[in-house]
Amino acid sequence: MFAGARTGKATTFERCAADGVEDVEYTQSRAAAEQAGAEIHLISLTSGEIQSMNQDINPDNRYRVDRTLDEANPADYDALLLPGGTVNPDRLRMTPQAMDFVRAFFQQQKPVAAICHGPWSLVETGMVNGRTVTSFPSLRTNIRNGGGTWVDQQVQVDNGLVTTRNPSDLPAFCARMVEEFARGEDPRQTATA
């Protein structure tokens, strides 16, 4: 996960990720947010570094964790991004504390963005219920079973929630993510579960 910290000057947001995050999803979305002036924090399950992957199976880069879930408070951030890869979101959704963290952004009506397999966290937390989202096609049934509507398009925005299918959609996704994160809190971005 990555999130932006509240500084009073620029949007700060959090990125929540664990080992197995897809490198291009992490780096391109982070770069887009930083270019827009956001302060980014990488939040993870443990301290130290996380290992990114290329196409889910090839180790790529390592990234320093800024804060663990124990150290991070959703109230200190303006927005949340959940990058994909298959291993990263699977690890996150198996961790109740991570799912509480994700749910808090919805409860606080803050923008959330998810890439590729990132919407698994939305399904696990119940936040996909009643929403229209896109994702990697293999999540289609999970999203429908979670009460969401799945669409096959580059980017889907639903009341402060921005989702995309895969790394090839990142340019369009990043533009919409930055736009929604700049817009800020949305009273329609409420917890549905």
- Taking the domains of the chain in order of start, what are their residue ranges? 2-183
Identify the pLDDT of residue 9: 39
Q: Is 116 a catalytic residue?
A: yes
The Cα–Cα gap between 42 and 175 comes to 20
Active site residue 16: no
pLDDT digits (tens, 9 = 90+) for 182-191: 887 767 666 5
What's the rounded Cα separation, in Å, for the pair 36 and 33?
Answer: 5
Closest among 165, 151, 71 to 117, alpha carbons compared = 165
pLDDT beyond 80 at 1: no
Residue 10 pLDDT > 70, yes or no? no
Tell which residue, 50, 136, 148, has the closest CA to residue 92: 50
Q: What is the mean pLDDT of the chain?
A: 88
The pTM of the full predicted model, rounded to 2 decimals, is: 0.90
For the chain, how long is the longest CA-to-CA vector?
Answer: 41
Token code pair at residue 124: 């696990």
Residue 105 tokens, joined: 């952004």
CATH of 2-183, one of 1.10.630.10, 3.90.1150.10, 3.20.20.70, 3.40.50.880: 3.40.50.880
* 166-181 residue pLDDT tens: 999 999 999 999 999 9
CB 1 within 8 A of CB 101: yes
134 neighbors 156 (Cβ within 8 angstroms): yes
CA atoms within 13 A on the CB side of 111: 23
**CA 162 → CA 10, 37, 103, 110, 135, distances in Å?**
20, 19, 15, 12, 10
